[in-house]
Amino acid sequence: MTEFVLPELEPLGFKLLKSELTFKRDIGDFQHTIHFQKTKWNSGNEVCQFKPHFGIYSNALKKYYSKNGTKISENPLIHNRQAEYLECWNHELYENSWYDLVNYDNNKVIELLKKNLLNCGMEFFKHSESETGIVDYIMSLNSYYYLTPTLFDICKMYDKREKANELLKWFRNFQKNPEKKFSEDILDSVTERENELKNWLQHRV
């Protein structure tokens, strides 16, 4: 990773945490991570098989929660995806959702990985380039309904009332699907946000 991948990602602001096999960068109010999961067949620093995971965290949301009396130790995870679930990911030599350095030419694997990271991976991170871009992205997927409370908090943090209202309506429409199951915690959290929105709209300046 240090020799072949870091030189590609470092100009984009990423730093490698060797102990975690994770690249991280802070960009605006967000933190982007690329973590390489190893299989049980890996030993120490020797990597035989691995798969990339992409994460978007909010630096600003942690400060927002703290300011409002909620203490959390880590930046909140907004969204993460394994490589195989990214629509643009090239699956060549990505057998059973793993890159294999034992059975395939290492140089070809690394070249394919770099192209995927720079093209598809960076495309995923673009969804957090604007304040509420990640909200639009999640709603466009028509999934991940459980993120609604966190996405609402992002809207509120940036004072995006209309987007918050749109988000809550999206959730309630999603809830009408009889095949979907919703935990009581999520339903309670969404109801709480709906009450927050009412107060928020009443105090519109």
Per-residue pLDDT tens over the stretch 5-63: 999 999 999 999 988 889 999 999 999 999 999 886 655 556 688 999 999 999 999 99
Asked if residue 187 lies in contact with residue 168, where contact means CB atoms within 8 angstroms, the answer is no
Same domain, yes or no, for 28 and 111? yes
Same domain, yes or no, for 88 and 158? no
Q: What's the confidence (pLDDT) of residue 95?
A: 86
Domain termination residue (choose one: 70, 102, 128) = 128
Kindly state the greatest CA–CA separation across the chain.
63
Asked if residue 56 lies in contact with residue 32, where contact means CB atoms within 8 angstroms, the answer is yes
pLDDT, tens only, 86-144:
999 999 999 889 999 888 999 999 999 999 999 999 999 999 989 999 999 999 998 99
- Look at residue 1 and tell me if it is in a domain: no
Amino acid letter at 122? M
Q: For the chain, what is the domain count?
A: 2
Same domain, yes or no, for 91 and 158? no
Closest CA to 51 of 104, 103, 8, 95: 95
Tokens of 101: 């350095």
Domain termination residue (choose one: 79, 97, 128) = 128
- Look at residue 110 and tell me if it is in a domain: yes
Tokens 């890996």 correspond to 42
**Which residue segment(s) compose the domain that 67 sits in?**
6-128
Amino acid letter at 136? D
More confident residue, 153 or 72: 153
What's this model's pTM, rounded to 2 decimal places?
A: 0.89
Same domain, yes or no, for 143 and 190? yes
